[in-house]
Amino acid sequence: MATKLAQELIQEAWKRKNTIFYLILVPFSWLFGLVTWLRRLAYRYSLVRSYRLSAPVIIVGNINVGGSGKTPVVIWLIEQLKQNGYQPGVISRGYGGGARLPTKVTAESDASLVGDEPVLIANRCDCPVWVGENRVDVGEALLKAHPDCNVVISDDGLQHYRLKRDIEIAVVDADSSNQSARLLPAGPLREPLTRLNTVDAIISNGEKLSLATFQMQLMGERFYNLADASKTAIAADFNRKVVRAMAGIGKPERFYDHMCELGLTFTTVSFDDHHSYTAEELAEIDCDILIMTEKDAVKCKSFAEVHHWVLPVEAQIDDALMPLILAKLQHKSILNTKE
């Protein structure tokens, strides 16, 4: 409770920017910036050792806290790479889970152990997914268990410089473009905005921003039943029903806006990002139809009821991005051959 209150106070300070509390946070932001700069400098000049995996590494991350849409990008990237003959694997910290050592993730894994987003990826994609505290160890464990894997995607980890990378993709949230440009804790940034000048591609989730090179839209209009995935529905099927929309994600408003665009009338119930649900919590939500995100669904599947429905979304990204990624991977392959 105390942690949640502190987060709410800090986020309110980011918005108002003229409170005494915000002014107190600013010097800590300067200190955070200095530490961040020194840390990156240490890795750049090999004062601190970084490690390269035996397969190319693609980082999909961001520079701000909160949800920006990385996981849909990872899923899109997996499918695109497979269509082009690659056999990708995914590594992740498994945020929200307790696994510290390298751990394999399947669609049936416990999200409280490995994190909800890795379970979602494993559920959607036919490729190896591994999590753990140390991404280098996790990557090596994945490649040892799956020697046919020839490209590794890191879900998040843009700031994890211990792991060398070949391609960096930064995902930015268009709805957050007017937020404070300060570093933590006086703002939402993990690194300065200038960090975006060094990545290979910037994807804007939503409206295309001037700093972004590629635009993404999240699309989805068909629901499936969480208790019986063979049952599907469209928004019109829920007419004249009491509908509640539930989300425990970084940007619940984006999910709710999407449902409004589908023509649904509903009320909302929001939880913290990565919330661990219980059957009792969902039973208290009085409605005919309860609709949730895929990320929430992986944590509610074991106690799903017949009125629980899921709205999956797909990332639609500018066509020009994949040729850029393939060209960089091909260039990396040529360099390895020469070596």
pLDDT at 179: 63
Reported as a single tens digit per residue, the pLDDT across 99-137 is 999 999 999 999 999 999 999 999 999 999 999 999 999
pLDDT at 337: 54
Task: Judge whether residue 297 has pLDDT over 80.
Answer: yes
pLDDT at 210: 72
pLDDT at 3: 56
Task: Judge whether residue 339 has pLDDT over 60.
Answer: no
Q: How confident is the model at residue 11 (pLDDT cuts 50, 70, 90)?
A: confident
Task: Judge whether residue 231 has pLDDT over 60.
Answer: yes
Task: Judge whether residue 214 has pLDDT over 90.
Answer: yes
Mean pLDDT in residue range 9-33: 83
pLDDT at 23: 87
Beta bridge pairs of residue 216: 205, 317
pLDDT at 173: 86
| Residue 272 belongs to domain with CATH number | 3.40.50
Looking at the structure, tell me whether residues 331 and 195 fall in a common domain. Answer: yes
Q: How confident is the model at residue 87 (pLDDT cuts 50, 70, 90)?
A: very high
Looking at the structure, tell me whether residues 201 and 329 fall in a common domain. Answer: yes
Looking at the structure, tell me whether residues 281 and 260 fall in a common domain. Answer: yes
Looking at the structure, tell me whether residues 77 and 185 fall in a common domain. Answer: yes
Q: How confident is the model at residue 333 (pLDDT cuts 50, 70, 90)?
A: confident
Q: Which domain holds residue 305?
A: 221-312
Tell me the pLDDT of the chain averaged across its residues.
Answer: 92
Task: Judge whether residue 1 has pLDDT over 60.
Answer: no
> pTM of the full predicted structure?
0.93
Looking at the structure, tell me whether residues 204 and 156 fall in a common domain. Answer: yes
Number of domains comprising the chain: 2
Looking at the structure, tell me whether residues 167 and 268 fall in a common domain. Answer: no
Mean pLDDT in residue range 168-172: 96
pLDDT at 305: 98
Domain presence at residue 248:
yes
Looking at the structure, tell me whether residues 194 and 279 fall in a common domain. Answer: no
